[in-house]
Amino acid sequence: MKGTNAGWDSILYRIYIIGGLAGIVAVTVGTVIFFDPQGATMLPVYTGGGCATLFLLGILAYWWWQLLFAEYGVGKAELEEAGAGLPKIAALKSWSRLFEAMVVWGGVPALLEADRRRVRRVLLEWFGWATAVALYPIVNVWLYLFGLLTQETFLLLVKQGYVALIVLMIVRTYFLMKGSNRSDEQAIYAPLGLTLVEAVPSRAAPRTLEGQRHGRTVRIVAEGRHSLTQVNGSLPSFLVESGSGKFLLPDDLPAPAHTALKDLRKAKRWTGVKVEGGPQGVVVERDARGQNLWLYDLWLAERILEMRP
């Protein structure tokens, strides 16, 4: 997964996969050429099959380590102490990183942790089934090659047994996916301290979110490309717009807004964004394609308000 430094996103993993496959071919071919050119023995099968088995075990071990210890697919938010401060600009590196930081900053970290534990249980069980499906035929092949299974038993286990195992995995996967479906309110809004206040029939319909973060009332209205994020407070009046992803700062911009905006680099996330401040707080209006981009606007509004003397 991109951005995780795991799997194909890892250089070492790519080297292992490509090198491992090349190694299996090299060992098998080398065994045939140097030790069994007439094809009179099963040695190439044992050497090639042994390498392939070790290769697969290495992949499975790697992913089990990722799931058990690296928390792959769940995230690793550093749940800092409350009051540690507004997330820094570095948190904008990815949506998930910003989400975790905003939960810690003004949301409900316990809800995020509970959601992670549930997702983790689903991932571990599903990968357990995937491991069984991957190892089942290999184990049976080796038992047969070493004479521990008769041909009839081997064929029975590989055909009917393997089909049954796959069917069981598919059925269980269906129920795992069905049980793990999370609404946006459960997975996103509630951990941020927000509530969906208007029931909507579809994702395309307007969504209105409200909540309290650090004693400030937050209201977000999102509909398609357009979203409006308002955080109450008190500031001198100002209006700032982004041109091609870069905020254009007027000379008379109040100090809190200037301090909050001056270090923001040009980025696609700010394209089509307008920021307005005044006695009622900060309003960030966005007209851009993307899912849940209002999270960046919430961060920006809170950042400006935190810069007040």
114-123 own/partner pairs: CB under 8 Å, 24+ apart? 115/182, 115/186, 115/187, 115/191, 116/71, 116/74, 116/75, 118/180, 119/73, 119/74, 119/180, 120/67, 120/71, 120/74, 122/176, 122/179, 122/180, 123/67, 123/72, 123/73, 123/74
- Give the pLDDT band of residue 288 (cuts 50, 70, 90): confident
Instruction: Give the residue extent of every domain in the chain.
Output: 7-184, 200-306
181-189 own/partner pairs: CB under 8 Å, 24+ apart? 182/115, 184/292, 186/115, 187/115, 188/99, 188/292
Question: 3-state class of 22 per DSSP?
Answer: helix
**Is the pLDDT reported for residue 120 higher than 90?**
no
**Is the pLDDT reported for residue 205 higher than 80?**
no
Task: Provide the 8-state DSSP code for 181.
Answer: -
Q: What is the pTM of this model?
A: 0.72
The reported pLDDT for the residue numbered 36 is: 86
Please, what's the b/e burial string for 7-44 (b: 16 or more CB within 10 A of its CB; e: otherwise)?
beeeeebeebeeebeeebeebbeebbeeeeeeeeeeeb
pLDDT digits (tens, 9 = 90+) for 31-89: 999 998 887 888 999 999 999 999 999 999 999 999 888 877 665 544 444 445 789 99
CB 257 within 8 A of CB 277: yes
What is the C-alpha radius of gyration for the chain, rounded to an integer number of angstroms? 28
What percent of the chain is predicted at pLDDT more than 90? 61
- Give the pLDDT band of residue 94 (cuts 50, 70, 90): confident
Residue type, 137: P
pLDDT digits (tens, 9 = 90+) for 166-201: 999 999 999 988 766 666 667 789 999 999 886 555
